[in-house]
Amino acid sequence: MKSGATTLNLPDNIKIVRDEIPGLSCGDCKSHKVIQVVFIFIKSKFGDITSDPFLICASCASQNVGRNCPECGIFNRVKDDKRDEVYCKPCGLVLTRNKIIQY
Ligand SMILES: [Zn+2]
Ligand SMILES: [Zn+2]
């Protein structure tokens, strides 16, 4: 067993680039184990051709992950499609507006 490695059964074409990033949580299972991965398009001996890194939950593989709210410390975001913004459900803090600030 690899020490410190995340015990998520990832498909072969997903590679972990960063183990457990502090301050992030999963919006689905509320786990704090969020990892950064890349999707490998082509494996070659000269190096893999991969996607840009993205974040997933190491417990449930959800991509509904993000930074904990700076106000209340909880990750529970709600998207308001009418106003095109994402806000924190427990405290109401607006986290993104028009996709300029990305959390
Ligand atoms: Zn999760
Ligand atoms: Zn909040």
Cα 46 to ligand 1 centroid, rounded to whole Å:
34
- 92 pLDDT more than 60: yes
pTM score, whole prediction: 0.69
What is the percent of the chain where pLDDT is above 90?
52
Greater model confidence, 2 or 69: 69
- 9 pLDDT more than 60: yes
Q: Residue 100 has what DSSP assignment?
A: S
Could you read off the pLDDT of 54-69 as tens digits, one per residue?
A: 999 999 999 989 888 8
Alpha carbon 58 to chain centroid distance? 9
Could you read off the pLDDT of 25-57 as tens digits, one per residue?
A: 998 898 999 999 999 999 989 999 999 999 999
Q: 10 Å Cβ neighbour count for 35? A: 22
Residues with Cβ–ion distance below 5 A, ligand 2: 69, 71-72, 88, 91, 93
Structure tokens at 10: 């990832």
Domain positions in the chain:
11-67, 68-103
What DSSP line would sit under 20-31, residue for residue?
--TTEEETTT--
